[in-house]
Structure 1
């Protein structure tokens, strides 16, 4: 169902993929938007137990799209260093495919909110718990269950050096 990565030499290991997701502070969620136009929106997230959680308002484009089609993708860029003299960039990114759902059950929603808040404010437990309490009824939490995940980095970051006689590979990201 999901395409195999063509440039396997550049594939990240599962450990590297998880590290990218844990390091990242923002990603881009892509959904099937209004009129079947793709809708991609940057957001804060937390990855926990093979799921990604993010928050949003209780109404809007993103929620309408998820209600119509639960299948989404999510991308995190870990590195993007332009190297002008080589006409390339040294990149590292991860892309996730999965199904999104709104967390309706209060215990589930609270746990996801606590995970998200702890990621962005790890040293302020009392403050984040107060903020969760204040915002709880006005915020929506969404869970993305991962069905497929891959990560890729620039050949230059892999340590692999092509021989002089080898065919050049295409450039680009995941």
Structure 2
């Protein structure tokens, strides 16, 4: 997807450090995907796992349903991961870090990649991921589950952090 990159009007808010971008991605449970089919926009918020080695997001959904239909008709997506730092009382401001990415959503068909994606998700979300892997990941579930991947073609980030209290670290 050829995107015109706009400059950020408030350059001091731009996140340019790749480590910080990956920190935001790793620290959140949900992402929102913007999609379009037949001229109609569609948003879906999904839980996800991210493979930092390949820059790939994974999420699962129903085989049949609007999300799958929209992706199959137009795989181009724009995604956002948001870290909510809350309202800053008395400043009329909000603390946050957000990362946007874009790419194509593709169905994962190889069982090995499906297994790896589900293991990443369970590792991220479960308190006891090994027990959850044994319970939920098997040949039957791998054949049935619908997994999509989005290999991020690029990232942008923006933040507005809380003012520092004397001697304290800045925080989102």
Same fold per TM (> 0.5)?
A: yes
The structure that is helix-richer by fraction is 1
Cα deviation, 1:121-144, whole Å, max 9, x if unaligned, reads 253313323212263233101000
Find the aligned partners of 1:71 and 1:107 in 2 and give their Cα distance. Answer: 24
Select the residue among 9, 12, 30 that pairs with 2:12. 9
User: Do residues 36 (structure 1) and 39 (structure 2) align?
Assistant: yes
**Cα deviation digits, residues 17-48 of structure 1 (max 9, x gap):** 10000011111111114x42211111100110
TM-score for both structures, normalised by structure 2 = 0.82
Partners in 2 of 1:37 and 1:142 — Cα distance? 21
| Structure 1 spans left out of the alignment, 5+ residues | 160-174
Structure 1 residue ranges (4+ consecutive) displaced by more than 6 angstroms after TM superposition: none
Contact kept, 8 Å, 2:34 with 2:77, in 1: the verdict is yes
Question: Unmatched 5+ residue regions in structure 2?
Answer: 165-172
Which residue of structure 1 lines up, in the alignment, with residue 78 of structure 2?
73
Following TM superposition, by how much is the alpha carbon of 1:84 offset from its aligned partner in structure 2, in angstroms? Answer: 4.6
Maintained 8 Å contact 1:44/1:54: yes
Please report the TM-score for the alignment, with normalisation by the length of structure 1.
Answer: 0.81
Alpha-carbon separation, structure 2, partners of 1:72 and 1:138: 24
* Shift in Å, 1:97: 0.9
For 2:7 and 2:65, locate their aligned partners in 1 and report how far apart those are by CA, in whole Å: 34
Instruction: Output the CA distance in 1 between the equivalents of 2:163 and 2:33.
Output: 27
Let me know the Cα RMSD of the aligned residues.
Answer: 1.9
Distance in 2, Cα, partners of 1:101 & 1:47: 15
1:114 aligns with 2:119: yes
Q: Per-residue CA shift, 1:78-119, capped at 9, x if unaligned?
A: 124113522221221111111110001221112111111111
Contact kept in structure 2, 1:29 and 1:75, CA below 8 Å = yes
